[in-house]
Amino acid sequence: MRVLHLDAGKEMRGGQWQVLRLMEGLAAAGVESTLLARRDGVLLETARRRGLRATALTWLHLVLLARRHNVVHAHDARSHAMAAMVGAKPLVVARRVAFPLKRGIASRWKYRRAAAYLAVSEFVKQVLVDGGVDADRVAVVYDGVPLLPPANGTHIVAPAGHGDPLKGSDLAFEAAKLSGFPLHPSGNLEEDLQTAGIFVYITYSEGLGSAALLAMSAAVAVVASNVGGLKEVIGHRVNGLLVENTPAAIGHAVRELIDHPELARRLGQAARERVRQRFTVERMVGDTMDVYQQVLS
């Protein structure tokens, strides 16, 4: 099997890391992959540095390479549109975001082109179905993250935000100021988690929350917004704390973990076990391969 991956993202965010982990997992399973990514994006450089076959995402490369691969897998909205316009078949599309589908003619046409959708959560699957996609064309494939070494630290860490209006980094820092605890913005989450004790993940819309999963894999206690697919990852007071998006609620949850370190340790250990059971890279790769086989049969 030969799979052509498309990703037009500008930055290295959760979706781009999932592309790399998928390609590496597919390679280990004997599946040949090629990535088309933005010429000026970080993903292309990172993929090449990791020894993966990757080239610039252009219309010419897409047309030529789509013919030489068994499956075309689009990982974001722009590459989905490009693949649909060139008639790439069979087309598999990853859907990671939780906002509703557009209702225009062009959007409806685009969403009819794919043979299958990989929804990152049951929540996102329902968004697709509500938008008119047949449920039997949507498979839920959860993100997979590596199992990091257990963290050993007390820092309270939050994603940097990158100016995304759907992410609530400003709200998290407002809560920190209100409740009087230091909050460290992370530009390199995997590295910063090594010295973390609490991870604060606040967002207004979330398909799943791969950053929260990564923190959980390191046995870091997570405080996260009670929205979208995060509720499929975190059980409140079972393996993390889910909060409403208010500075008071966020601050209260973080303060509880600071004041009760035994609770933070228990939640972190349960979170790591949750990742081990359900959100591994190996499971993500296997579930994705199942969908490839289905569209090729």
pLDDT, one tens digit per residue, over 194-252 is: 999 999 999 999 999 999 999 999 999 999 999 999 999 999 999 999 999 999 999 99
Count how many residues are written for the chain: 297
Q: Which two tokens stand for residue 240?
A: 């993390």
Residue 236 phi, psi dihedral angles, 5° rounding: -60, 125
Strand partners, 196: 155
Q: Which two tokens stand for residue 19?
A: 């592309």
Tens-digit pLDDT string for the chain (297 aa): 999 999 999 999 999 999 999 999 999 999 999 999 999 999 999 999 999 999 999 999 999 999 999 999 999 999 999 999 999 999 999 999 999 999 899 899 999 999 999 999 999 999 999 999 999 999 999 999 999 999 999 999 999 866 677 788 899 999 999 999 999 999 899 999 999 999 999 999 999 999 999 999 999 999 999 999 999 999 999 999 999 999 999 999 999 999 999 999 999 999 999 999 999 999 999 999 999 999 999
pTM, 2 dp: 0.93
Position of tokens 């970080």? 42
DSSP code for 101: P
* CB atoms near residue 110 (< 10 Å): 19
H/E/C letters for each residue in 222-234? EEEECCCCHHHHC
Looking at the structure, tell me whether residues 184 and 259 fall in a common domain: yes
Looking at the structure, tell me whether residues 96 and 188 fall in a common domain: no
Contact between 72 and 83 (Cβ < 8 Å): yes
Looking at the structure, tell me whether residues 184 and 122 fall in a common domain: no
Q: Is the peptide bond before 185 cis (omega within 30 degrees of 0)?
A: no
Looking at residue 61, its pLDDT comes to: 98
Looking at residue 162, its pLDDT comes to: 62
Looking at the structure, tell me whether residues 229 and 264 fall in a common domain: yes
Q: Which domain holds residue 195?
A: 155-278
Question: Is 148 contained in some domain?
Answer: no
Looking at the structure, tell me whether residues 196 and 104 fall in a common domain: no
Looking at the structure, tell me whether residues 215 and 233 fall in a common domain: yes
Question: Is 147 contained in some domain?
Answer: no
Looking at the structure, tell me whether residues 232 and 219 fall in a common domain: yes
Q: Is 98 helix (H, G, I), strand (E, B) or coil?
A: coil
Looking at the structure, tell me whether residues 235 and 288 fall in a common domain: no
Looking at the structure, tell me whether residues 116 and 195 fall in a common domain: no
DSSP characters over 138-203? EEE----B--PPPP---EEEEE--TT-TTB-HHHHHHHHHHHT---EEESSHHHHGGGEEEEEE-B
pLDDT, one tens digit per residue, over 165-177 is: 778 889 999 999 9
CATH number at residue 286: 3.40.50.2000
At residue 231's C-alpha, the angle toward residues 227 and 232, to 5°, is 135
**Count of domains for the chain:** 2
Looking at residue 163, its pLDDT comes to: 63
Looking at the structure, tell me whether residues 69 and 19 fall in a common domain: yes
What lies within 8 Å, CB to CB, of 102 at 6+ separation is: none
Looking at the structure, tell me whether residues 175 and 114 fall in a common domain: no
CA-closest candidate to residue 12, choices 144, 189, 142, 185: 189
Contact between 201 and 91 (Cβ < 8 Å): no
Residues 150, 276: Cα–Cα separation, whole Å: 13
Find the distance separating the first CA and the last CA of the chain, reported in whole Å. Answer: 12
Mean pLDDT of the chain: 96
Question: Is 164 contained in some domain?
Answer: yes
